[in-house]
Structure 1
Amino acid sequence: MPASPAAFPPPRVLVADDDPASRHFLCDGLRALGAHVQDCADGMQALQLARGEAFDLLLLDCRMPGAGAREVLAALRTDPAARSARSLAIASSAELDGARERELLGCGFSDVLRKPCGVAELQRLLALLPGGMPVLDDAAALRASGDAATMQALRQLLRGELALLYQELGMPDRDQAALDDRLHRLRSSCGFCGTAALAAEVARLQQRLREAPHEALPAIAQFRGAVQATLQALDT
């Protein structure tokens, strides 16, 4: 079941875009979906706001006066005093090809938003936040697996994998290379089993391990909690 509003307050989103029409649509759409939105029109103001306030989601245009999405994110990620230093970051652009998208993801963005977009795309971005999606999505799992029997068989395999992973994450002598490989395979399994919330947590942990492997203990603890919640849901 989706998390209750009391458990997860409305997300705080920073929208930085120098195009007035795009900024207006993005802000209105996100507010209609229940988010609290702060907006600005240039990269330096976005950086100032993100340093001073704790946003859950940063939606940054790739080309803005002062600094683009990449420059803003790079400055935040290397500033431990910034209150949004570890916020989920999405790059937006009207000019994207596959190579450019892969480059942005490699720079630490969790996703890329192609403009123009619709409200459905904004809803998908909000779903990347903690509590934004159900632990188990039977409809998604059935679409991916094809039938109920296959879905259940795949979920049983996933359950065994998660039980072992939960134990290993609690050990002090984890093999980082092996963990990265496990996480890569787990994202694929999540798609077939309808565990999109866990897949989002996998992506967040991969990002933290890539950016700051020696400061990953809080992220691992959060991910271990998501694994436990998924195991509980699979057992009901």
Structure 2
Amino acid sequence: MNSPLANTDSDPIGTARAHVLVADDDPGSCRFLCDGLDSMGARTEACMDGMAALQRARAEPFDLLLLDCRMPGAGALQILTALRADQRACSAESIAVATTAELEPGGRQSLLDAGFSQILLKPCGLAELQQVLALVQPGRHPAGMLDDRAALTATGDATTMRALRLLLREELALLHQELDALSRDRAGFSERLHRLRSSCGFCGATALSAQTVLLQQQLLQRGATPIALARFRQALLATLQALDS
């Protein structure tokens, strides 16, 4: 299986254009998402049918999948479930974002539990797209590393949010120092990542949270790959930079 970011020509982490599959059966939404991501340096491919999107994701290693929840053939949940179950699929471990014009109560958590790193509500703006692209290219899009709105929703007020972000900053600085040693301790690393996911959620560190989830999944299955560790390290450093700014 090809790994995500296999489309790079030199340094595989963050320097090449992110390869993004945009699956949406609404022509206007599909055009906006593709044009917006292209304007930020991504390389997009559009698909307006769910089964066709699944076939492309199986055949091609995309860095990021934007999947509409309701499409002919298959929706976002069906596509991602099929991909995650097929380790021969080229995009089996790609970061996935669900897109939808309406979200039912409990729908967000169900999608997150299914493996989506983020839910993008339509219509959206370029700022939201930048946060989505930062999931796979944190160093190139540092402005998308922290989601203030999500953090305020989780913490309840700005004072608590700032206090928790200070704690996260200390946690990340220590984790960066210990990362090489931790990567050789599969059980200990998995437990550390479990705690980090909670901190990321409270602080709105969406890009780092996405890389943490993917790394956890790899550790459970067969151990972390070098490219997954490199992407996690880059997201960690970019989040530290954002917390310091």
Q: TM-score with structure 1 length normalisation? A: 0.74
Deviations 1:132-189 (A, max 9, x none): 4349x89x8xxx679x9x8997577336632564365144363466324432344268
- d(CA) in 1 for partners of 2:168, 2:111: 32
Q: What is the aligned partner in structure 1 of residue 170 from structure 2?
A: 157
Q: Residue 4 of structure 2 aligns with which residue?
A: none
Query: Structure 1 CA distance, aligned partners of 2:45 and 2:192?
Result: 37
Cα separation, partners in 2 of 1:15 and 1:226, compared to 1, 3 Å: closer
Segments of 5+ residues of structure 1 without an aligned counterpart are none
Q: Tell me which structure has the larger Cα radius of gyration.
A: 1
RMSD: 3.9
For the pair 1:222 / 2:230, whether they are aligned, the reply is yes
Match of 2:45 among 38, 43, 46: 38
Query: Where has structure 1 moved over 6 Å in runs of 4 or more?
Result: 150-153, 230-234
Q: Offset of 1:211 from its aligned partner?
A: 7.2
What is the CA-CA distance between 1:127 and the residue it aligns to? Answer: 1.2
| Selected match of 1:174 from 160, 177, 187 | 187
Question: After the TM superposition, which residues 3-42 of structure 1 pair with which residues of structure 2 at under 5 Å, given as runs?
Answer: 8-42=15-49
Q: 1:8 is matched by which residue type in structure 2?
A: T
Is the contact between residue 20 and residue 64 of structure 2 (CA under 8 Å) also seen in structure 1?
A: yes
How far 1:225 moved relative to its partner?
Answer: 3.5
Q: 1:170 to 1:15 in 2, by over 3 A?
A: closer
Q: Which residue type is aligned with residue 197 of structure 2?
A: H
Equivalent position SS for 2:106: helix
Aligned-partner Cα distance in 2 for 1:201–1:156 = 12
The reply to whether residue 183 of structure 1 matches residue 190 of structure 2 is no
1:125 and 2:132 matched: yes
Which range moved further: 176-185 or 74-83? 176-185
The residue identity in structure 2 corresponding to 1:120 is A
Q: What is the match of residue 74 of structure 2?
A: 67
How far apart are residue 101 of structure 1 and its match?
A: 0.9
* Equivalent residue runs for 1:88-107 within 5 Å: 88-107=95-114
Looking at structure 2, the residues matched to 173 and 102 of structure 1 have their Cα atoms a distance apart, in angstroms, of 27
Give the distance between the partners of 1:165 and 1:8, measured in 2 at CA.
Answer: 25
Q: Which residue of 2 aligns with 1:51?
A: 58
Distance in 1, matches of 2:239 and 2:132, equals 25
Alpha carbons 1:126, 1:132 under 8 Å: kept: no
* Cα shift at 1:221: 3.3
Q: Percent identity?
A: 40
Look up the SS of the partner of 2:187 in the other structure.
Answer: coil
TM-score calculated relative to the size of structure 2 = 0.71
CA pair 81-66 structure 1, distance change in 2 beyond 3 A: same
Q: Compared with structure 1, are the counterparts of its residues 225 and 212 closer, same or farther at alpha carbon in structure 2 (3 Å cutoff)? A: closer
